[in-house]
Every structure is written in C-alpha cells, then in structure tokens.
C-alpha cells in the first residue's frame, strides 16, 4: 500500500499549555477511507485541523506523498491537495452557493457539474445555486453545501469533520453512498471524523483516538471488536452511546 | 464626448458605444447627447439645470439612461432631474455618475432626482457612482433622491458606490401610498480617508405599503461611514431595514436606525451588524486554496455584490 499521508510524533497543546495530542502517529494509504473515532474530547477534531493546517502542531512532522508539509500553512496545504469540511460551517453574506462551489473547484462550472455535487449531498441545485450562503439556509443545508465544496475540489486528501452532524436521515444515506463513490471512482483518500456506526462500517481502516493519541488503527472488524470489548470491560475510554 | 467620458460611461452604465433606448448624457455640466423614444420624452428644464423625463402610461420594457460625467477638476455640477412615470409603466432607469480628475482641483456632482410614480407603475432604478484618476483634489458626489409612490406602484433602487469617491452625502426620502412598495439595495465601499454619509427617510402612508431597505458597506483604512435611516409607519404596513457593515484597519461605521410606528398595525423590523470579517470565513476560503488577502477580497466582493 502506498502511504499518501503520514503523521509522526504529533503533539499539540492548547494556548494555555494543556496537552491535547501527544506523540501521535497516523498513516493514510492512497485511495483509502479512514474513519477516526473515539470518545469526545479525545483530540479527533484537533487532529483533523492539524492535518489541514488550521492548527499548527507543537511538535512532530507531517508528510503528504513523502513531501514534508510540516511548515506549510492552510493555503499551501490546500493547494497541494488537502481539503477540509468544517463541523460547523461558516456563512457568507453575498456569496451564492454557485459562487462558493466554483471557488472550491477553482473554476467556473456548468450547471450539470454543480448539480452533480449538490445532488450527492441531497440538494437540488436549481433551488439553491442562486441563494446566498447566509442565515436563510438551515444548519443542515449549510452542512450539506460545506460537504459539496469539498467534493468539488477533487483533493488528494479530503478531511470531513463529523459530516453526519446536522444531516437528516435521507441525506445521510446519500452521504454514505457519496463517500463510497469517492473511494471507488477517485484517486483521493478520505479521512472522516465520526461516531456513526454506518460510517465506521464503510471504512477501509478505523483509527481510534483517545487521550490524545492513536490507541489502535486497523481493519473495521478488528477495531469494532476492540471498541466493543473495551466498552464491555471498562466503560472508561469509549461509552457505547458516544460511539454508535 | 471625450474619451474619459466614454470610459466612465462603460463603468457606470450599460453603454457600449450606444444606449438602448432613451438617454441623456451629461458631461461637465453640459448635454453631450440626447435621444427621446416614442414613449419616453426627455426635455430640459427651463428654470434650472436638469431634465424632465416623461414616461408614458403603459410603457413596458424600456430603459432610459441619464448618466453624468465629470472629467476634470474645478467642476461643481448641480442638476435637477424629475421623472414622471405614467400609470402601469414598467421601465428601467439608469442614472450613474462618474468623476475623473488628474490635477489638484476638487470636482463635485450633485444630482437631485425626484420620482413621481403613477398608479401600478414599476421602476427599477440603477445608480452607480465611481471616482477615477490620480488627481489629489476632492471628488464628491452628493445625490438626493425623492420619491412619491402612488397606489400599488413599485420602486426598486439599486445603488452602489464602489471606490474612488472622497466625500459623499446621500439622501433618500420616499412617501408611499396604498399598496406601494419600495426596495432599496445600497452598497458602499470607502477607503483611505474617504467619508460617506447616507440618510434614508421613508414614510408609509398607505395601507399595505412596504419598504425593504438593505444597506451593505465596507469601511477600510481610515475611512468613515455614517448610516441613518428613519422608517415611519403611518398606516397598516410592513417595514424592514438591514444595515450590515464590514470594518477593516481603522475603518469606522456609525449606524443609527430609527423605526416609528404610528399605526397599531404597522410592523417594522430593523437588523444591524457591524464588525470585521469573521476569522472563520477567512479560514474556510483558505482551505479552498486562497491566501488570506485573496480570501478577504472575495468576502468583500461578495458582500458588496
């Protein structure tokens, strides 16, 4: 397996010095779908933001396709092929859905291309493309548009921070299919931060983050078994209701 | 018509070598071209500088353009333009202004526009103001707009001042009759040490009249903007005003909206938000590959679009 993204000894402290991640190692294979899961507060979102360059690691190294990207900022990492879908997307007064997706794609897009991205997240493009990405859109709509912007980038590595949050059941089923399509039809790798069992089940690999480090990384069956055992034995690291 | 006027016309109107429909071009206080159409008659005022524009009842789908250009300093242009819009007419009025100076003298255009909308008429009014050139003299544009809307008439105003004007005082006043609707979209960008003052006063006197006023502004560098709106509901009516401003560097914005309900069934709302660009917005656009500067420019362009 070709390693596309590699993190070595990543640590991150809060501005007041509290350690959140320590000596974390992670590898993501080319074309693989990795789901990062674990208890709340374990450092999952922090890890995702460090990959995208939104947070800067306190120490450690990151490599994309064997290129050292440790010192590259958000913009440079985005241009090299790392995309990020925010858990709580931001709104823009005056910027339309069409404009935002075109900004993501880096080019003007024909309607059918925009339709394709929008339909993957359960939205009808013709109803939405001329609407502003502002407070007139619901939280669920904004979330789906956020995911569509990442789809439009066709990145080497697409990071989705809890994509299921705020998504209704029908769109969620569609979203699962979208992730499977990306894995099948595109060369890129996908990293998803999630608690959702259905997302865990489509992963090529699951990485369990707890206490600021990777506790385990492996095949879904093995990791799900580990999670279940851990829950049965201690109930300390992973509470079942948080996981599924 | 000189070349600077032609450049300004391209910016402030849809001029592409000619106008489609009736027009009057004002260049440094003089008429540089005029044409009336079958349904739209343009005449000079006899008592003061300016025009009287008569739009025949029932006129549909026509455009009348009355751009004004000041192409050098030491000009203080004052013009009074009155628009008489016949019943059930549906037209577009384009009334931009451009000032270009290359020397140190000041230049000013002051357009006083009055609109009289007949019953059931619909006017889309487009007004774009720009300042150009390297001159150090003050470029000022001080538009005054007064509108009287009769029963069930609709006035849509889309006004923009996107850079280059050092001083502006913009005053808009309207009186609305029964069922009349007024939509205002204002966009202003100030930079350096520019100042902009906008003042709206809307009186809703007729039952079921309504106003929707949205002002978006960006104050950069050391510029200063003042926004003041007064919406008065004298009848069962609906009024909404929204003042959003982005400030950056040392930009300053003062917003003072006023709502006055004089009827028990007047429903009036105001929303206002002033602040710098949200850091999350910059972050999102940077994850799309933009630099911080590109992200900021994109956000401002979108905000003022």
- Non-local (6+) Cβ contacts of B279 within 8 A are none
| C-beta separation of B83 from B50 below 8 A | no
CB pair distance less than 8 Å for B283 and A74: yes
pLDDT in tens, B128-174: 988 888 878 888 889 999 999 999 999 999 999 987 899 999 999 99
Spell out the per-residue pLDDT of chain A, length 244, in tens: 788 999 999 999 998 989 999 999 999 999 899 999 998 888 999 999 999 999 999 999 999 999 999 999 999 999 999 999 999 999 999 999 999 999 999 999 999 999 989 988 888 878 899 999 998 998 888 988 999 999 999 999 999 999 988 777 777 787 888 888 777 776 689 999 998 888 999 999 999 999 999 999 999 999 999 888 876 544 444 443 344 3
B39 versus A182: which is more confidently predicted? B39
Cα distance from B286 to chain A (closest Cα, Å)? 5
Determine the Cα–Cα distance for residues A6 and A51; give it in Å rounded to an integer. 10
Ranges A133-142, A164-173, B6-15, B46-55, most confident: B46-55
On average, the pLDDT of chain A sits at: 88
What 8-state DSSP symbol labels residue A152?
T
The whole-angstrom separation of Cα A65 and Cα A80 is 10
Give the number of C-alpha atoms closer than 13 A to the C-alpha of residue B73, restricted to the C-beta side: 13
Which residue of chain B comes nearest to A91, CA vs CA?
B281
The answer for B 177-236 residues in CB contact with A (under 8 A) is 216
Contact residues on chain B for A75, CB-CB shorter than 8 A: 286, 289-292
Best mutation target among A94, A146, A161 (most B Cβ atoms within 10 Å) is: A94
Which of A49, A54, A74, A154 best tests the B interface by mutation, with the highest count of B CBs <10 A?
A74
Q: Which of B286, B289, B305 sits opposite A94 (nearest CB)?
A: B305
Segment holding A200, helix H or strand E: helix A197-201
* CA pair distance A11, A62, nearest whole angstrom: 11
Residues B80 and B50: beta-carbon distance below 8 Å? yes
- Distance between CA B195 and CA B198 in Å, rounded? 10
Is residue B78 within 8 Å of residue B67, measured between CB atoms? no
- Who contacts A184 (Cβ-Cβ below 8 Å, separation ≥6)? none
Q: Answer whether A80 touches B (CB < 8 Å).
A: no
Q: Looking at the complex, does the CB of residue A89 fall below 8 Å from at least one CB of chain B?
A: yes
Q: Identify the residue with better confidence: B280 or A233.
A: B280
Contacts of B278 in chain A (CB under 8 A): 90
pLDDT of A173 reads: 81
Q: Give the chain A residue nearest B288 (alpha carbons).
A: A104
pLDDT of residue A237: 44
Percentage helix, strand, coil, to 5, in chain B? 10, 55, 35
pLDDT recorded at residue A186: 64
Q: What is the pLDDT of residue A89?
A: 94
Going by C-alpha positions, the residue among A179, A154, A93 that lies closest to residue B299 is A93
Q: Which domains does chain A have, with CATH numbers?
A: 3-243 (3.40.50.300)
d(CA B90, CA B155): 10
Tokens representing residue B245 in the block: 């401003």
Half-sphere exposure of A39 (CA within 13 A, CB side): 16
DSSP A226: H
Minimum Cα–Cα distance from A73: chain B residue: B286
Chain B (228-287) residues lying within 8 Å, Cβ to Cβ, of chain A: 244, 278, 280-281, 283-287
| Buried b or exposed e, range B229-264, using 16+ CB within 10 angstroms | bbbbbbbbbbbbbbbbbbbeeebebebebebeeeee
CA–CA separation, B270 and A66 (whole Å): 55
Give the closest of B244, B283, B302 to A95, CB-based. B302
Per-domain residue ranges of chain B: 3-303
Q: Contact A106/B305, CB-based, under 8 Å?
A: no
Residue B75 has pLDDT above 90, yes or no: no
Q: Nearest Cβ partner of B283 from A54, A106, A149?
A: A54
Query: Contact at 8 Å (CB) between B121 and B149?
Result: no
Residue B51 pLDDT class (50, 70, 90 cuts): very high
pTM, rounded to two decimals: 0.84
Size of interface A-B (CB pairs under 8 A): 56
Query: Which of B124, B104, B107 is CA-nearest to residue B115?
Result: B124
Give the residue from chain B lying closest to A105, CA to CA: B288
CA distances from B269 to A234, B230, B239 (A): 56, 12, 6
**pLDDT (0 to 100) of residue B233:** 98
């Amino acid at each position: 397996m070709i390693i596309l993204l590699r993190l070595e000894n990543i640590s991150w402290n809060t501005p007041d010095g509290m350690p959140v991640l320590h000596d974390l190692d992670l590898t993501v294979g080319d074309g693989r779908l990795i789901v990062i899961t674990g208890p709340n507060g374990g450092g999952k979102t922090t890890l995702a933001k460090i990959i995208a360059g939104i947070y800067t690691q306190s120490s450690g190294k990151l490599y994309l396709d064997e290129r050292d990207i440790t010192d590259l900022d958000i913009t440079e990492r985005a241009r090299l092929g790392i995309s990020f879908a925010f858990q709580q997307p931001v709104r823009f007064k005056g910027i339309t859905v069409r404009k935002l997706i075109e900004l993501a794609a880096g080019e003007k897009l024909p309607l059918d291309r925009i339709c394709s991205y929008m339909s993957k997240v359960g939205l009808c493009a013709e109803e939405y493309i001329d609407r502003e990405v502002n407070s007139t859109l619901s939280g669920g709509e904004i979330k789906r548009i956020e995911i569509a912007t990442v789809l439009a980038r066709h990145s080497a590595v697409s990071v989705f921070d809890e994509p299921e949050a705020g998504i209704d059941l029908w769109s969620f089923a569609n979203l699962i299919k979208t992730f499977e399509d990306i894995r099948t039809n595109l060369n890129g790798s996908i990293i998803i931060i999630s608690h959702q069992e259905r997302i865990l089940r489509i992963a090529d690999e699951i990485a369990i983050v707890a206490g600021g480090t990777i506790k385990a990384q492996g095949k879904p069956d093995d990791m799900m078994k580990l999670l279940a055992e851990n829950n049965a034995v201690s109930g300390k690291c992973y509470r079942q209701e948080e996981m599924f | 018509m000189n070349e600077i006027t032609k450049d300004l016309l391209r910016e402030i109107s849809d001029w592409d070598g000619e106008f489609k429909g009736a027009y009057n071009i004002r260049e440094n206080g003089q008429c540089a071209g005029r044409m009336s159409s079958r349904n739209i008659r343009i005449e000079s005022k006899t008592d003061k500088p300016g025009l009287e524009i008569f739009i025949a009842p029932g006129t549909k789908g026509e455009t009348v353009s009355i751009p004004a250009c000041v192409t050098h300093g030491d000009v203080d242009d004052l013009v009074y333009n009155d628009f008489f819009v016949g019943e059930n007419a549906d037209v577009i009025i384009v009334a931009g202004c451009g000032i270009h100076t290359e020397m140190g003298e000041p230049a000013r255009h002051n357009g006083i526009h009055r609109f009289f909308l007949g019953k059931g008429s619909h006017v889309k009014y487009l007004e774009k103001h720009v300042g150009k050139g390297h001159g150090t003299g003050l470029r000022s544009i001080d538009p005054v707009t007064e509108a009287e809307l009769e029963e069930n008439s609709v006035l849509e105003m889309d006004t923009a001042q996107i850079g280059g004007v050092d001083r502006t005082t913009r005053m808009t006043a309207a009186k609305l009759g029964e069922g009349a609707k007024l939509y205002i979209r204002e966009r202003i960008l100030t930079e350096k040490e520019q100042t902009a003052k906008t003042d709206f006063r809307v009186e809703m006197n007729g039952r079921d009249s309504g106003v929707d006023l949205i002002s978006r502004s960006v104050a950069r560098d050391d510029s200063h903007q003042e926004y003041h709106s007064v919406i008065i509901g004298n009848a069962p009516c609906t009024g909404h005003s929204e003042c959003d401003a982005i400030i950056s560097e040392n930009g300053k914005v003062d917003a003072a909206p006023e709502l006055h309900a004089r009827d028990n069934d007047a429903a009036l709302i105001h929303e206002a938000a002033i602040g710098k660009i949200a850091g999350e917005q910059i972050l999102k656009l940077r994850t799309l590959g933009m630099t911080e500067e590109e992200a900021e420019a994109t956000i401002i362009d979108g905000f003022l679009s």
